Amino acid sequence: MGVKADRQAEEFTAFVRSSGTQLHQAAMLLTGDHHLAEDLTQATYAKVFVHWRRVQTADSPLAYARTTLLNTFLSHRRLRRNSERPSDLTDADLSPPPGADPGTRVDLLAALAGLPPLDRAVVVLRYWEDRSVADTATHLRISESAVRTRARRALLRLRPLIDPVSERTHP
């Protein structure tokens, strides 16, 4: 390898180290399965690496990687190559952040797994990554109205699954 290739490999490695946790968490929310999330993250980085020369000069390499992650997830779901569904999520698979209630995180992932892939993507982009309606619509190639509708319906389905007590007190 030449000096330039070595430098690019080092820059890509630094990018993976700085963005790995963030992309893996988004993949985990999208897939609901630790192993599928790892596969999705790895496939994303493979695609980013192929175009790294162009990606590293972009305004935001992380935004490029996030878009690639989302498109890879949606493509995989469309192909329906994998008919397996996650059934048992454990605390070890989820590795909650310090101070977070692991039970709530398990409930959230299980609830997200019950949503259709596009609804799950809307929820992850809008509320996990805190993207605007317009940005979410652009990334998913759907209308802003569809984003708002899907988000509202998904949240209505998620709320009773995550916190059934609040649903009884606040219908």
pTM: 0.62
Dist CA 43 CA 23 (whole Å): 11
CA angle centred on 39, ends 38 and 43, rounded to 5°: 120
Q: Which amino acid is at 156?
A: L
Tens of pLDDT along the chain (171 residues) come to 577 778 888 999 999 999 999 999 999 988 888 899 999 999 999 999 999 989 988 888 998 999 999 989 988 765 444 444 544 545 444 444 455 565 566 667 778 888 898 999 999 889 888 889 999 998 888 999 999 999 999 988 888 876 655 544 444
